[in-house]
Structure 1
Amino acid sequence: MSLLATKSPFIATFKSLGALYLFIYFGLFLDSFYMVKITDDAQFYAIISMFIGFTIVFFKVNKRVKEQMLTAVILAVIGEYFFSILLGMYTYRLENVPHYVPPGHALVYAAVLCFSKAKSIILHKVKLEKVFTVFIIIYATFFLIFKNDVFGFVMTVATLLILRTKPRERLFYLTMYISVAYLEIIGTNFLCWKWPSTAWGIFDFLPSYNPPSGISFFYFLLDLGCLWLYKKRHKIAWSRMKNIRKIRLETNTSLN
C-alpha cells in the first residue's frame, strides 16, 4: 500500500516525517563536529548519504513529485548561494554551500508533501492544524522569551498570519515549519552551520538566535517557487484540476 493510501495516520507519519527526521539526523551527523574530529572528509560522507537517500525517494514518488523535487533542487541552489554566500544570512561550516544541501531541501519538500496529502492524515487535518499551530506559538514564544529571538518570532507571526488565508495549504506549511525547526536545531547543534546574533548580521533591532525559530518563512519561497513553476509547465492539467475542485465545492454547497 502506498503512503498516500495508508489507512493508519501513525504509519503515514512514520513513513514520511519519521523517515525524514531519522535521515536528517544521520546525514547531518556525518558532517558534524563529532565526525570532523575523526576525518577530514566528513562533508563528503554526508554528500554520499544524501545522494543515496535522494535517489531512493526519487524513484519511489510519482511523476509529479519527481518534477517538483528536481525543481526544488534547482531553486535551492539559487537560494542557498543568494542567502548564504551573497547575503551572509547564515554560514556553513566550511563557508561553502555543501552539495548535500539542495537535494536535502527537495527531500524535506517531498516528505512534507506526502505527509500532508496522505488520506489518513487529511481525515485529521483540522485537529492537526490546531495542534501544530499551538506548538508553533509555544515554540516561538519560548525562543523569544528565553533566547531573545525577535527575528524568529517576527517571521513566525508573519507565517501564521499568511496561513490564515491559506486553508488548502495550511497543514503543509505548518508541517514544514516544524520540520525545518527540527532540521535547524540538529544542524546548528552539530555545528554544520550557524546563524548570526542579529538578522543577516546587519539589523541590530532584530536580535536572532542560532537558529531563529521562524526561519521556515524563507523555505516557503522554495515551496511557492516549485508550485508556480509546476503550474506554468502544466497549465492545462492545473486548470482541469481547479475546475474539478470548483465543481466539488459547488456540489457540496448545494447538498448542505
Structure 2
Amino acid sequence: MQTHSAIPTSRLQQGPAPIRPSHRNDDAPASLASLGTVVSIRRGGAVYREGDPALNWFRVVSGTACTCKLLPDGRRQIFTFLHTGDFFGFEALGEHGFGAEALTDLVVIRYSRRHTEALAQTDGAVGHRFREIACRSLTAAYERLLTLGRRTATERVAGFLLELARMAPDGKTISLPMSRCDIGDYLGLTLETVSRTFAALKHDSLIEMTGAHCVSLLDRPALELMTEGDEPAVRHRIE
C-alpha cells in the first residue's frame, strides 16, 4: 500500500496474512490466502485515494470503511459502506475512481491485482467469485440509483436500516459505527434531515436507540412497507 502524507507510517501495520475474515458469508477461495497481506489502518486513514493506481484490491477483516468521492465544492458522496468480509477496490481501469477510508480502526487483507487476475485465469473458484462480486456490485448500483433518485428521506433511512439488518444475526439489532454525517453522505441527505428522520422513526415506535451506535428495529414489517412507499405505514414522513 502506498504511504500518503496524511497517514503517518506509524499508523500502518503490515505483515503476512494468517487472518481469515470472521464473516457469516465468508466464502473466499482458499487459494487466495497465500497472496494476501494484512494491513491495519487507523480511523480516518485512507486505504487508497481517488486517482491512485489500482494495483491492489482488498477484503475487510474487521472494522468499517467506505468508498467515497469528493465533489469540487467539497461535498462528499459515499458510494458504499464496507463491513467484515466485504471485498472492494476492484476497478475496470488503471486507477481508483473512488477513494476508500476507514470509519473505524480497520484491518484489511490486501491482494495484488496482477497476481489475483492471473490466479483467476487458472482457478475456477477464484474466477467465479470475482464474477459474483461484479454482479452484486452492479445490483447494488441499480438499488442506489433508485434510492437517490426516487425515495423520500424517510424511505431512504428506513431502507438503510433494513440493509444493515440483513447482516445482523437476529435481523433487527443494528450496529452503527458510522456517524450521522456519514449516513447523510451515503443517502444524499443533510445531517439535520438524517437526525430528524431517526427521531421521527423513534417517535413512531418503529425503532429504538439502544446506545450511541446501536439501533433496534421494533417493527420491521412497517419499515419494509415504508421503503415501498406505503403511506399508511408512515406517520411522520420526511421528504
TM-score (norm 1): 0.25
TM-score (norm 2): 0.26
Larger strand proportion of the pair: 2
